[in-house]
Amino acid sequence: MKPIVFFLFIYLLLHIEAFAQRENVIYDESKVPEYQIPDVLTRFNRGKVKSEKTWFKKQRPDILKVFTEEVYGKFPGNQEISEVKVWETSANAVNGLAIRKQLSLFFKKNNHNLEVNILMYLPKTDRKVPVFLACNFTGNHAVYNDPNIRLTESWVANNPSVGIINNQVTEQSRASASDRWPVDEIIKSGYGLVTVYYGDIDPDKNDFSDGIHPFFYEANQIKPKIDEWGSVAAWAWGLSGVMDYLEKDPLVDAKEVAVLGHSRLGKAALWAGATDQRFAMVISNESGCGGAALSKRIFGETVLMINTSFPHWFCDNFLKYNNKEELLPVDQHMLLALIAPRPLYVASAEGDPWADPKGEFLSAKYASSVYELLGLEGLPAKEMPEVNHPVMGTVGYHIRSGKHDLTLYDWQQYIRFADKHFRGK
């Protein structure tokens, strides 16, 4: 059999399996199999965590290690920014209310080069401003209706309805995702938006020859080792790289950066928040399986389903837990707990059962015991709140009406949450 036919055959097999699994998705609460969730404050060798010191010195590092080696994969080394190029700064953006700044971070090593384009809108003030930092799905030009935004030249998944053809965007792609980015509201509330196209860091395809991964390969290596980073960790690494830059930007208050992400990018935002404590706030918008939702609760997407459809997102060790979630030494509430004591917001949508809203809520609730140990208010709700009734302690949560998306309503809650924690409002 020719190699191409063989690969085609395997590809088809995997996809048939993925479709078959989707048929079997559990969406009925009464069909959820029994499960047990590890207590975040019980040590792996069974002792109880009773002090802040034991949490930070022992339990937190142990949990982080398991997520690193078994779920997201290790960052194989350090890669600093090689060069920053500011393309333009304009003090006349968003109807004169904001500064727009566009720049690129260049990463270079041996014959590898990566350019990560950053778009910033910052409210005009004489103080450093707090910002929301988020990856976007199709390029910075899609975020806002502004002809001055540079079109991405990176590979983007095809979508002819917004002018993405042959994996390249076109003029027609401008502002095509602007519904998700209420720049005017963000600016008027006194926050900046810093955004970057996730494909600049690692194109979202099952191919480890591009993006940041090859920077760290040994001779003849073509993909990360079984405990090394998949794409979610690569995107998280990129967010930390942007943070390295923000620490030097005179206009941004790097102590007040809220890292935010929707869906797969919510998974990346959570992993960025867990691995990099410079992020002062972490916001997960409908991140679902491998994000905020519990894995051991079988509802909506499962570990097998995600590993089958997106084999490049996690490390290969995670495959061990396909259909064997009970063997996972951790669950996702323990990932959320790694954010403590920093404010954490988890959001779900009623029309997004694939991401398991209840599993996301329970995860935020179970993570709260760590916040409480640290003397903070965790999630101020024992039961799932009603639709469109956000709750906000140091951990916040809402389930809104509507489908899987990042909406103005979601942003309004994140702005309120940031006001509460950054401004004491």
Contact assessment for residue 267 and residue 240, using Cβ atoms and an 8 Å cutoff = no
List the x/- string, 352-381, binding to ligand GCU by CB under 6 A.
Answer: --x---------------------------
In the window 326-355, what residues touch ligand GCU (CB under 6 A)? 354
Residue 410 as a binder of ligand GCU (CB under 6 A): the answer is no
Q: Write down the least CB distance from residue 273 to ligand GCU, Å.
A: 17
Nearer to ligand GCU, 148 or 309 (CB): 309
Residue 301 as a binder of ligand GCU (CB under 6 A): the answer is yes
Q: Write down the least CB distance from residue 67 to ligand GCU, Å.
A: 17
Q: Is residue 389 annotated as part of the catalytic site, yes or no? A: no
212/77 Cα distance (integer angstroms): 11
Q: Residues binding ligand GCU: what is the number (CB under 6 A)?
A: 8
Choosing from 173, 176, 263, 363, the catalytic residue is 263
Contact assessment for residue 276 and residue 258, using Cβ atoms and an 8 Å cutoff = no
Q: Write down the least CB distance from residue 264 to ligand GCU, Å.
A: 3
Nearer to ligand GCU, 281 or 289 (CB): 289
241/146 Cα distance (integer angstroms): 25
Contact assessment for residue 362 and residue 382, using Cβ atoms and an 8 Å cutoff = no
Single out the residue of 288, 353, 357, 359 in contact with ligand GCU (rule: CB under 6 A): 288
Nearer to ligand GCU, 132 or 137 (CB): 137
Mutual angle of helices 264-275 and 231-246, in 10-degree steps: 60
Q: Is residue 404 annotated as part of the catalytic site, yes or no? A: yes
Buried b / exposed e over 130-158, threshold 16 CB at 10 Å, is: bbbbbbbbbbbbbbbebeebebbebbbee
Nearer to ligand GCU, 249 or 360 (CB): 360
Give the three-state DSSP class for 96.
coil
Single out the residue of 258, 270, 306, 344 in contact with ligand GCU (rule: CB under 6 A): 306
Residue 312 as a binder of ligand GCU (CB under 6 A): the answer is no
Nearer to ligand GCU, 270 or 340 (CB): 270
Nearer to ligand GCU, 290 or 343 (CB): 290
Which residues lie closer than 8 Å to 155 by C-beta, 6 or more apart?
167, 168, 199, 203, 205, 210
Nearer to ligand GCU, 263 or 275 (CB): 263
Query: Residue 47 CB: number of other CB atoms within 10 A?
Result: 12
What secondary structure letter does DSSP report for 354? G
List the x/- string, 256-285, binding to ligand GCU by CB under 6 A.
Answer: -------xx---------------------
Nearest to 351 by CA among 269, 414, 288: 288
Q: Which window, 146-154, 220-228, 301-309, 416-424, contacts ligand GCU (CB under 6 A)?
A: 301-309
Nearest to 93 by CA among 196, 207, 204, 186: 186
Give strand ranges (E) for 308-353: 344-351
In the window 41-100, what residues touch ligand GCU (CB under 6 A)? none
Query: Residue 48 CB: number of other CB atoms within 10 A?
Result: 10
Give strand ranges (E) for 36-155: 83-93, 98-109, 112-123, 129-136
Q: Write down the least CB distance from residue 125 to ligand GCU, Å.
A: 34
Choosing from 112, 240, 309, 404, the catalytic residue is 404
47/173 Cα distance (integer angstroms): 55
Q: Write down the least CB distance from residue 269 to ligand GCU, Å.
A: 12
Nearer to ligand GCU, 306 or 338 (CB): 306
Nearest to 133 by CA among 250, 229, 252: 252
Residue holding tokens 């491998």?
290
What secondary structure letter does DSSP report for 247? T
Single out the residue of 232, 233, 257, 289 in contact with ligand GCU (rule: CB under 6 A): 289
Q: Write down the least CB distance from residue 184 to ligand GCU, Å.
A: 25
As annotated, the active-site residues are 263, 404
Residue ranges binding ligand GCU (CB under 6 A): 263-264, 288-289, 301, 306, 309, 354
